[in-house]
Structure 1
Amino acid sequence: MRDAATPHPYADPLAFGQRMQILRTRRGLSRPVLAGLLGRSPSWVKQVETGVIKTPSLSVILRIAELLRVRDLADLTGDQSMPADLFTGPGHPLLPEVQAAVNAYPVRSDREAPTAAHLRHRLDRAWASRHCSPNHRKVVGGLLPGLIRDAQLAVRQADSSAERRARQAILSEVYSLTQFFVAYQPDAALLWRVAERGMVAAQESEDPRAIGVAAWLTVQAHRDAGHYEAADTVNRDTIRHLEPLLPDGDDRVRAIAGALQFEAGYTAARWGESGTAWGWWEKARAAAQTLPASYYDPVTSFSRAVMSAHAVTVAVELRAGGESVRQAAAADAHTIPSRPRRARHRIEEARGYHLDGQPDVALATLAKAHEAAPETITYNGYARRIVLEETESKSPERRRRASDLAVKLGVLAA
């Protein structure tokens, strides 16, 4: 229930600075932290919030929107005539079918559920298809409705507690795949419903790998919603749960523990805590080194190959442009076998170049991301923000290139 003493950030006639202050407070960011992430002084932030400095330039507004996780630009500016969804991509044509499968409440069925081995085979093929397809949401969206229904049915028809736990682990992973499809689409309630069901199924399974994966995705959902403390709590609690199991754990368990260590660093970087962020990255890198060189986690992408990409992300989230570019130069995107993950890495590189004042390189790198996996960049808020900003560039050639890419991403009409 909203505190009557707290003004609603979208109520008129609040000025830009007032909206910014309310949204900053709700994200739990102090003025010095926001100022540091923006590369400005705390006094500058205060002057904007108090109205001494009026509405900043579009490029600064977009950076503020990114840091405050504002999904619609109009929520920050107050200008409802030009809404821009920054962190929510378009609704995929297959979203209604996936929604129907998730929202259904099946209480009985006259058919026999597929075996756990059959479900495992289908799920493995779905992950493989996701990693090799440029339009992975289309592929996964077509497979999910049947997988969801069959995995739910398999749990209900389990003959023993051990069989039920094993099937719950598979169901949890089906929900994990579903969360990848639903993320950044215009149905936040569905995303949280999927995340929570995945966590419940994982806990029922008592499988450490399933528990870790569900936590990994829950951490991301909290962080993307701006709930950094909740993300950090889930993350650290799950790491503590897995730590005693690591000496005897298999590669899949060690990999999810390493993935969670990186996520802890990612959250710390969002908070602007450089030492903590890089400390967790080092722990994750050490975990990756315990895995075979050829290992690549089908859910988290955690591997030796992805650690250099993770270093770019940490530097970018710390708003360190120069360090981001250095890490990008050291990384090799071609070692990442997954097309959507490779595209995500290209987007992180583009963010680094943009932070470093190299917008032309950033746009060229985003073009590479689009080539690797169009559906990844189309649903990525950071990419959309950079492209939208560069459509206002003073350089005619850069403006043209940005506009062409914006049309491909659906940010601008053709």
Structure 2
Amino acid sequence: MPSDATPDPYTDPLGFGQRMQILRTRRGMSRPVAAGLLGMSPSWVKQLERGEIGMPKLPMVLRIAELLRVRDLSDLTGDQTPAVDLFIGPGHSRLPEVRTAVNALTLGGDRQAPSAAHLAARLTRAWTARHEAPNHREVIGELLPGLIRDAQLAVRQADTAADRRAAQAVLSEVYSLSQFFIAYQPDSALLWRVAERGMVAAQESEDPHAIGVAAWLAAQAHRDSGPAHFDAADAMTREALAYLEPMLPDADDRTAAVTGALQHEAGYTAARRGEKGTAWGWWDKAQATAGRLPTAYYHPVTSFSQAIMGAHAVTIAVELRAGGESVRQAVASDTATIPSRPRLARHRIEEARAYQLDGQPETALATLERAHKAAPETIRYNGYARRIVLEETESRVPARRQRAAVLAEHLGLLAA
């Protein structure tokens, strides 16, 4: 090549710092903001992105990956590490059966569909089983294929418009249950297919509760797709709230609960953006909505209740990267009142994130152990838990390394 030729910028693969800068810029985050959230100086971030210092050790790499919402670690590190998806768990053994049921063309033949009332009763039992089981994905994964086929058939065989709307409401909730099973598994296309079908069925049902639940789950799917989709999450949440909030004065408990859950979702997304005032403002609205519910009420889909608001406060503080505040909220929250094992495990993970942010890694690991005890299938599929455990396997403290290694084995992180 002639010496005066224009250098090919792609001759050498992108380094860690270049990848970090691209991902940070794509998120719209300045160097000073990134530095502050990482606990480092802006000059350190600048040197790292310019390649003046090498790729940091694993704990800092994982912090950067979480900050930039990198789903596959190799997107950040390039060819320096194997592909590791931080926010997607393993595929459950029952995923193929659920996928087949979702994708099937349910015509039914001569088989008579169950009534909407019968299906609703089965759904109630399925939600109860999910909340009570430590292996909740196994439990609902076994129930879902039959529920999906029967609910689809009920819609197809409905004789009247009223029967069809009732069947569509049940079908929408079956798809909601399906999303809890499919989430964080390696089939994002299936998750989106189910989310979209659930929304269509909810709209066809004309049931405010079904519409609210479908919107709540769709907003989460958008938000978890990364910062580029936060606007879509906000649009979904706000449109659903504009529809539901005028109904609040006369709403039944379940419709009020899904309205409160959507108010919290708006605050959650604001916290992910770093909008402190907006995030806590939405939490206050959700708290007020929770206050109108009976003390013992617990919404089976969203877990919204008076009992969950302390856990929601921890999540808001953690997403705002406020270590001290998140620990204060964790100490103040009353976990004894959360009746769902998977939701309790999720809260324990959020508490662990709070302690990790506050520089208490030993307490974070102990809290993750409690999450594993409550519901192993929750922590195994949670990217934040996986990140903390992987980070602590590199700890300079032998006891922490050993504790993290045991957890890593429980979570399947050491599997080939």
The answer, yes or no, to whether TM exceeds 0.5 is yes
Equivalent position of 1:152 in the other structure: 152
Correspondence for 1:256 among 241, 258, 275: 258
Q: 1:335 to 1:47 in 2, by over 3 A?
A: same
Deviation, structure 1 residue 32: 4.7
**TM-score, normalised to structure 1's length?**
0.94
Q: Give the partner amino acid of 1:181.
A: F
What RMSD in Å do the two structures reach over aligned CA positions? 1.7
Deviations 1:261-316 (A, max 9, x none): 00111101111111111111111111100100011000000000000000100111
Segments of 5+ residues of structure 1 without an aligned counterpart are: 1-9
Deviations 1:52-86 (A, max 9, x none): 44323322211121122222211211135433221
Q: 1:33 to 1:195 in 2, by over 3 A?
A: farther
Is the CA contact (8 Å cut-off) linking 2:98 and 2:141 kept in structure 1?
yes
| Residues paired across the two proteins, number | 405
Q: 1:114 to 1:167 in 2, by over 3 A?
A: same
Q: Give the partner amino acid of 1:127.
A: W
Q: 1:28 to 1:176 in 2, by over 3 A?
A: farther
Equivalent position of 1:38 in the other structure: 38
Runs of at least 4 residues of structure 1 off by over 6 A?
none
Is the CA contact (8 Å cut-off) linking 1:350 and 1:361 kept in structure 2?
yes
Is 1:271 the counterpart of 2:273 in the alignment?
A: yes
Q: Give the partner amino acid of 2:259.
A: A
Q: 1:129 to 1:372 in 2, by over 3 A?
A: same
Q: Secondary structure at the match of 1:78?
A: helix
Is 1:341 the counterpart of 2:337 in the alignment?
A: no
Is the CA contact (8 Å cut-off) linking 2:307 and 2:337 kept in structure 1?
yes
Q: Greater CA deviation, 233-242 or 179-188?
A: 233-242
Equivalent position of 2:180 in the other structure: 180
Deviations 1:154-191 (A, max 9, x none): 00111111111111111000000000000000111111
Correspondence for 1:281 among 280, 283, 289: 283
Q: Secondary structure at the match of 1:180?
A: helix
Q: Secondary structure at the match of 2:250?
A: coil
Q: Give the partner amino acid of 1:66.
A: E
Q: 1:42 to 1:195 in 2, by over 3 A?
A: farther
Deviations 1:185-216 (A, max 9, x none): 01111111111111111111111111110010
In 2, the alpha carbon distance for the partners of 1:234 and 1:31 equals 30
Is 1:120 the counterpart of 2:120 in the alignment?
A: yes
In 2, the alpha carbon distance for the partners of 1:32 and 1:278 equals 24
Equivalent position of 1:388 in the other structure: 390
Equivalent residues in 2 for 1:33-72 (5 A)? 33-72=33-72
Q: Give the partner amino acid of 2:244.
A: L
In 1, the alpha carbon distance for the partners of 2:21 and 2:11 equals 14
Deviation, structure 1 residue 40: 4.1
Equivalent position of 2:207 in the other structure: 207
Deviation, structure 1 residue 22: 2.4
Q: Greater CA deviation, 257-266 or 99-108?
A: 99-108
Equivalent position of 1:134 in the other structure: 134
Q: Greater CA deviation, 174-183 or 73-82?
A: 73-82
Deviations 1:353-379 (A, max 9, x none): 011111000000000000000000000
Is the CA contact (8 Å cut-off) linking 1:166 and 1:205 kept in structure 2?
yes
Equivalent position of 2:24 in the other structure: 24
Segments of 5+ residues of structure 2 without an aligned counterpart are: 1-9
Deviation, structure 1 residue 107: 3.7
